[in-house]
Amino acid sequence: MADSSATFGDSPYHLAIFRVSPYALRVDVRVLKEGFDKFGSTSPSLKRLDKMASRLYIKGRILGHKRGKRNSRPNQSLLQIEGVDNKEAARHYLGKRVAYVYKAKREINGSRVRVIWGRISRSHGNSGAVKSKFRTNLPAKTFGASCRIMLFPSNI
């Protein structure tokens, strides 16, 4: 992560630290303030300026099963990742885990939320689509639905 700092002159907020994560998904801004923190130690306390939501996933769209002219392969699904529009950008997401999150009618262990997990295996075409395999085949009602592409495991 890249860190940079700046001073604010005579204000008590004398040092700002900007942390920018790879791919500019999240910007974390903190300001160090001189003085004692609430426990009386001499270390400078951290005061949070703004709270930005951080996600550990990228949104994607389920396009359908991989298929030919006549044959459909229900064990392989095609996904379009948000912001990815070429084959080189899609290469970064190979091996990443995919979650299709949905709500069911009946509760199991106190929750109606269910997840079908999968993994991205290769790119598909030149427009940034990727092929993935899920643990159980995705039902046809998921076509056009959104999914989550996790940013882990990472090889950078």
Domain that holds residue 107: 57-150
| pLDDT of res. 10 | 53
pLDDT tens-digit profile of 17-44? 444 444 444 444 444 444 444 445 444 4
Structural domain includes residue 156? no
Q: Is residue 100 part of a domain?
A: yes
Domain boundary among 48, 68, 83: 48
Do residue 37 and residue 101 come from a single domain?
no
Question: Are 109 and 136 members of one domain?
Answer: yes
The predicted pLDDT at position 88 comes to: 96
- Looking at residue 18, its pLDDT comes to 43
The low-confidence residues of the chain, meaning pLDDT below 70, are 1-53
Give the 3-state secondary structure of the chain: CEEEEECCCCCCEEEEEEEECHHHCCEEEEEEECCCCCCCCCCCEEEECCCCCCCCEEEEEEEEEEECCCCEEEEEEEEEECCCCCHHHHHHHCCCEEEEEEEEEEEECCEEEEEEEEEEEEEECCCCEEEEEECCCCCHHHCCCEEEEECCCCCC
pTM: 0.65
Q: Give the pLDDT confidence score for residue 35 in this predicted structure.
A: 44
Q: What is the pLDDT of residue 132?
A: 98
